Structure 1
Amino acid sequence: MKTFKINSYAKVNVGLKILNKRSDGYHNISTIFQEIDLHDELTVSKKIRGCQFSSNVNWLHNDQNNLCVIAYNHMKDLYDIKGIDIVLTKNISRGSGLGGGSSNAAAVLKSISKIYDLNVSDENLIEIGSKIGADVPFFIKGSTQIGEGIGEKLIGLKSKIKGWYLIITPDLTIDTEWAYSQFKNILDNATLPTKFSDLFSEKVVDLDTIKFFENDFESVVFPTYPEIGAIKKELFALGAKFASLSGSGSTVFGIFDDNAKVKKAFSHFSPMHKAYIAHSI
């Protein structure tokens, strides 16, 4: 039975602008996605029929709320495949703004293409992924990309944002729908902000370039959850060159250019919060 093992990486948003609300209820955004080496692990195998799913967490089930199962069903509808068995080891926290579920779905799409020798192009996988979730297309190629539309319009950047990434995830789950809902009055009175794609004619981005970037979700998340805002302030105080909420949270991350400082900051936050030192990939 053919088996494929794949790492399913997390992402952070280095800056996130909410541009406007669309007629379909989604929001147009502009963001820089940076893939990092914090990851889940998937083992995907062929089986006779259906989709079997198991994991090391009790909040994921073999049902239609599971993005891995949804990814399989999309592939089954499009291609002549039989069944798969998915074993997922979760390390990325849920509801944290790190894109774990979307990354898992993208990993399943790529795995099915591999074990069934479908040779589906990245462009087709991106199109399929866009029907599953807004962040899924990014994870098909990963690395460093500007995301626009609802996140599915992607522009690759030439260089990743280097440094030591300290990922801090407090024991809080932020409802993304709630976070977007708080922007209604703001967007009604806002002028259209600059998109990140307008800033990078050379497609190169580094710590000096990003230091003034902000995540619009901070304006609604930090007042409601001041403990999350406090983490960002502490990261700067501990020597981070850049710090931000990722997605709608609850994860806050800092990028450091000094190994000793990131290790000291890690000791400051752990074990009070889930903390990881990661790198861009």
Structure 2
Amino acid sequence: MNFLSYSKINIGLIIGEKRPDNYHNINTVYQELLFHDIITLKRTKAKNSFTCDIKDLDNRDNLCVKAWAIMKDKFGLDGISISLKKNIPVGAGLGGGSSNAAVTLKGVNELFNLELSSPELRDVAIKIGADVPFFIDGGTQIGKGVGDILSKVGPFLDGFILLIMPKIQIKTSWAYGQFKNVLDGKSSNINFGSLINKKNTPFEMFKNDFELVIFPAYPEIRRIKNLLLESGARYASLSGSGSTVFGLFYDEAEAILAKSEFSSEYHSVITRPKTGFAT
């Protein structure tokens, strides 16, 4: 069985206080995108196997393998073959690994007829990573806590999204570690839900706090955002902790023209928001 493993961007990302478990509370809007990896799952009677077309990811630390191990132990499942074809870059802020884990959980649920509900799958997902629960249902959701307290909202993005992905891998743990002091606590209380339900979304209110630490460390990423805005994007932002920067355009022709402004050394993709939720 083949499953599409979609990417995501963050429309605004506020970093809150550090928690006793050393994670930070956040406030963000997750938006799933049509840009995706492909995962193939097959039941086997032999030993388990995992393959990936990216050599560095073809190992037991891959989140697909961790997702399967949890499900196997929890439900006493027999063998499986997992094949992962990557398109989403690693360390790019697009949630590729988290999406792969969530899709593995959902795929195993379907393949083995476990009939787990979305809440039950999310309970498993949070054991793998903070962004994994979002990808159980996908679509457009507001994320709080460490990203695991989720509220579904209606789609509000239209048009085309240009992803510019420099060859820079940023570890989320490093990015969080750069916040030596708690940021303005008031900003974490921004009600993103009320903003996206307005007729004209005030995108200037959707800031990504990671830009405060990523841009000084990687000026190249700041330049990408500036060029997207100069090229006509109605909104541009770092996604997650980066390194991807995205721009939102009204129509495809504008996005194509903007894409031509960037060096071919950058991996760039024009995609669209994925509307609706997984069923």
TM-score range, shorter chain: over 0.9
TM-superposed CA distance for 1:62, in Å, is: 3.2
Residue 234 of structure 1, aligned match among 227, 232, 242: 227
Residue 106 of structure 2, aligned match among 110, 133, 142: 110
Aligned residue in 1 for 2:187: 193
Which of 52-61 and 229-238 deviates more? 52-61
Aligned residue in 2 for 1:43: 40
- The question of 1:225 aligning with 2:222 is answered no
CA RMSD of aligned residues (A): 1.6
Q: How many aligned positions are there?
A: 274
TM-score, length-normalised on structure 1? 0.93
Aligned residue in 1 for 2:247: 254
Residue 14 of structure 1, aligned match among 2, 7, 11: 11
Q: Equivalents in 2 of 1:190, 1:17: separation in Å?
A: 9
- The question of 1:67 aligning with 2:63 is answered yes
Q: How does 1:1-281 map to 2 (within 5 A)?
A: 4-63=1-60, 65-185=61-181, 187=182, 190-196=184-190, 198-201=191-194, 204=197, 208-281=201-274
Secondary structure at 1:18's aligned position in 2?
strand
Aligned residue in 1 for 2:277: none
Structure 1 pair 76–227 and aligned structure 2 pair: CA distance change class (3 A): same
TM-score, length-normalised on structure 2? 0.94
* % identical equivalent positions: 45
Q: Equivalents in 2 of 1:207, 1:6: separation in Å?
A: 35
Unpaired stretches in structure 2, ≥5 consecutive residues: 275-279
Q: Equivalents in 2 of 1:222, 1:102: separation in Å?
A: 24
TM-superposed CA distance for 1:51, in Å, is: 2.8
Q: Equivalents in 2 of 1:259, 1:243: separation in Å?
A: 16
State whether residues 41 and 88 of structure 1, in contact with CA within 8 Å, keep that contact through their aligned partners in structure 2: yes
TM-superposed CA distance for 1:162, in Å, is: 1.5
Q: Equivalents in 1 of 2:199, 2:79: separation in Å?
A: 43
Unpaired stretches in structure 1, ≥5 consecutive residues: none
Q: Equivalents in 2 of 1:6, 1:276: separation in Å?
A: 20
Equivalent residue letter for 2:118? D
Q: Equivalents in 2 of 1:266, 1:207: separation in Å?
A: 25
- Residues 95-145 of structure 1: per-residue CA shift (max 9 Å, x gap): 000000000000100110111011111111011000000000000000100
